[in-house]
Amino acid sequence: MSVDEPAFAKVSQTWKTTVPAASTAAITWYAGNDGYVKINNYLRGITSTADAQTTVATAAIHNAVTTYNNPKTTVVYRGVSAKGLQISLHNAPLQVGALYSDNAFMSTSFDKGVAFDFAKDPSDSYVLQMTIPAGTGHGAYIAPLSKEYGLESEYLVKDHSEFKVTGFSTLTGNYNQKYHVVEMTMVK
């Protein structure tokens, strides 16, 4: 558990009582089943149409996560493939100042180890170290709503977000493997 996670967990306990039941159900569906695939494929334009459940859930999740009030600026982590990184960079070179964007919701974690697991092969993937500002409109700590994967310490970044690459580093992850880290800060 990161030093910031308890503050976010405390906010989530109050927040989840203020959002509509349909939103909490949509977040639980997104985090636990195939919801994230359906929703994110739709938001990324991989599928051109969505069924009613996906459309309703997408709006419900967006409305809920944009009301969450981050108690402080924090850092979360996300494991991505090299191909996924290039898609979100719009095939621009990976360099300081590059913009990384995704129309979909992005599952991230306060736990670097979770990102290492998702990055899988350190020779063909990256760990994103994402700085998220304090305040509302950026995303939400959804671990308390994730019945199956609550231990992932998940922070769900809002859809249609954008980050600026600020630096690079290396982290030693699971099994002493070296991971390439892309440091970035949310700008939208």
Band of residue 177 on the pLDDT scale cut at 50, 70, 90: confident
Contact of 46 with 54, CB cutoff 8 Å: no
Q: Which residues contact 33 (CB under 8 A, 6 or more apart)?
A: none
pLDDT at 148: 64
Domain ranges of the chain: 5-186
The SS3 call for residue 21 is helix
CATH superfamily, region 5-186: Toxin ADP-ribosyltransferase; Chain A, domain 1 (3.90.176.10)
Residue that the structure tokens 């859930």 belong to: 57
Structure tokens at 87: 């898609």
Give strand ranges (E) for the chain. Answer: 69-70, 74-81, 99-102, 106-109, 125-132, 135-136, 139-141, 154-157, 161-172, 178-186
Classify the C-alpha dihedral 35-41-108-174 as positive or negative. positive
pLDDT tens digit string along 63-122?
A: 999 999 999 999 999 999 999 999 999 999 999 999 999 999 999 999 998 998 888 877
Q: Please give the Cα distance from 15 to 109 (Å, whole number).
A: 18
